[in-house]
Amino acid sequence: MILSIFAAPLLALATPATTTEAQTSPASVAIEEHEIEGFPHARIYRLPGKDARPVLVILPGAEGGDGAGKRFGPILARLGYAAVSLPYYSPNWGSYGPPPEFTDLPGSFIDIRVDQFGTLRAELSKMPGVDTGKIGIFAGSKGSEFALIAASRYPWIKAVVAYAPSDLVWEGWGLETVAAEGTRSSFSFDGKPLPFMPYRGFVEGLQLGPKADLRAIHENGRADHPDREAAARIPVEAYHGKLMLVAGDEDHLWNSGRMARNIVATRKAAGLDTEALIYPEAGHDLGGASAEPRDDPRGGGTPGANAKARADAWPKVVAFLNDALKP
C-alpha cells in the first residue's frame, strides 16, 4: 500500500508522445543517442551533424526513472536541441512495492543532489555537438522544483520551462520517513539538506493509497508552518534567466496555480519577467502537445480542459525556447 501514494502522481511529463509532438521535424531523420559518463541511465539525444546545439535537460517528476526523457528527448532533439534525459530517482519502497527500475539511482526522494548539475555541465562540455554556453531545463512537477532550485544557484542556466511548478522546497519521502515524518528534505546542495516545508498527513496518506488527497497534504503542511516558509522558499529572484511556468488551478496533486503566481510575484518584485500560462480549469496533466482528451483522475481538471491547455501551451513553449536558446 505504501507505494501507491506516489505511484502515479506528479506526472506532468511522463505520458506517451503524440503524433503532433513528433512531427516537429522529419521523422526520417535519425536521432543520435549517447550515454553520459558518470550519470547512470542518462542519455543525450541530438540530430546528426557538427553543429553545436543548445542543451535542454529533461527532469521528470515524482514518477522518477527515464520515461520523461525517452518521451521528450527525441521530440526536443528534432527541435534542434541537445536534449539530455537526467534520471535522478527510482522509487524503492522495499517490500511494500515492486522492485525499483534502477537500483543504482536514489530509491528515496530525500536529499536529491541539485549540485549534480555542475558536474553534468562539465561532462557535457567534453561531448561534441553540444553548446554548454546555452543550457536550459525542461521539467515537470517535482522536476520543476529541482529545476528552479538549480536555476537559482547556477547563473549559466539560461532558460527554464517548469510545468506544475513549486515555489517551495518540500519534505522528502521514502522508507526512512515512514517512522520519521517531517524530518528530511527533498533536495540537498553541496552535501547539505535544503530547508523544507513539511507535509501534514503524509504517513496517513500512505495508508490511504490512491485515495490520499495530495493537494491537501501539501496545503495543510504549508498552513501549519508559516514560520518555515521563508527558509523553504526557492529564491527565484536569484535566477535572471528566462522562465516559463505552465500550471492549472484545478491541479489536485499540489496547488501549482497558486505556487506559479507566487513565483511570478516574487520575480516581479525583483524586476524580473516571467511568462506564466495558468489555466483556471486545467489540472496537472499539461505536458506535451496532445489535444486529445485523456483521463487523469488524480491530477485534476477535466480531460477536455487539460487537452485544451496542452494544445494552447505547446507552441508557446516551443517559441519561448527558441527565443531563449536560439537568438
Q: Per-residue pLDDT tens for 63-88?
A: 999 999 999 999 999 999 999 999 99
Q: Per-residue pLDDT tens for 121-133?
A: 999 999 999 999 9
Per-residue HEC secondary structure of the chain comes to CHHHHHCCCCCCCCCCCCHHHHCCCCCCCCCEEEECCCCCCCEEEECCCCCCEEEEEEECCCCCCCHHHHHHHHHHHHCCCEEEECCCCCCCCHHHCCCCCCCCCCCCECCEECCHHHHHHHHHCCCCCEEEEEEEEEEECHHHHHHHHHHCCCCCEEEEEEECCCCECEECECHHHCCCCCCCECEEECCEECCCECCCCHHHHHHHHHHCCHHHHHHHHHHHCHHHHHHHECCHHHCCCEEEEEEECCCCCCCHHHHHHHHHHHHHHCCCCCEEEEECCECCCCCCCCCCCCCCCCCCECHHHHHHHHHHHHHHHHHHHHHHHCC
Residue 157, strand partner residues: 135
User: Would you kindly state where each structural domain of the chain is located, as residue ranges?
Assistant: 2-325
pLDDT at 206 (0 to 100)? 80
- How far apart, in whole angstroms, are the C-alpha atoms of residue 56 and residue 132? 10
2-325 CATH: 3.40.50.1820
- How far apart, in whole angstroms, are the C-alpha atoms of residue 41 and residue 86? 8
Q: Per-residue pLDDT tens for 175-210?
A: 999 999 999 999 999 999 999 999 999 889 888 888
Residue 27 banded pLDDT, cuts 50, 70, 90: low
